[in-house]
Structure 1
Amino acid sequence: MADTVQFDLVSPERKLASMVATEVQIPGADGDLTAMAGHEPTILSLRPGFLTVKGAAGEEQFVVTGGFAELSADTISVLAEIALPRAEVTPEVLAELVSTATQAHEAAEVDAHHETQKLLADLVHIAEHLGFDAHL
């Protein structure tokens, strides 16, 4: 069994990564997951968080806000709703994401409030992890 996988990350706006990886840490909606070569075929939903890719060139980190990941023994493909390289995530970018999520929360039906509140909490966690003001 090979010890690497082909990793691809795309968002509706652009292709962010296509590389050979030794492991990919994925923020799954049902919990975080580290995927490596030989993984059982799986499809999972993403939650907002950090997606970390490790490979021969080192480690790359991206912020994702949702989407899906498809895992197999030799490929990991991620289609993210929004994905940005960590270096592109500024307080202004996060403030815009929080504003959009807040509007969605305020407009949501009562039965969707938990989901939109979780989205807001995840975005605040990202801000705190990056050392930004959590009350964007």
Structure 2
Amino acid sequence: MTKSYPEQLAEWVKRRESTKRDKNLVAFLAVRDDIKLAVDAGYAVKTIWANMHEEKRVAFGYDTFLNYVNRHIRDKSTRPAEVLPVRLTVDRGRPESKAAPQKQGPKVKAPDAPTGFTFNSQPDVKELI
């Protein structure tokens, strides 16, 4: 009887040697909460990395650290949605107004016909001498 693909994959993962990239990601995820607290407190990412690198909490370079911060901490899909303030209005017998029109960018005027010489491959007979 053959094994299912997930079972084969699980065995392969166990036999495989972990890469440096895997180890770096695991190390980052281990200190992610501390990094998030420091970023939220207003510390620069480079300062956080320098401290953690000096204390040997992370052994990889700043560029890798910054990529992990952007992907795992600053990623917009993992952040809670911003709550916009709601403006309440009092109905004073006025009819409901439609939603305010959205701002549009400045209107761009279409370019005029080019001025100066224009080549016409079929000459106008009236203009010939």
Q: Does TM-score exceed 0.5, indicating one fold?
A: no
Larger radius of gyration: 2
Structure 1 length-normalised TM: 0.28
Considering fraction of residues, name the structure with more strand: 1
Higher helix share goes to which structure?
2
TM-score under structure 2 length normalisation: 0.29
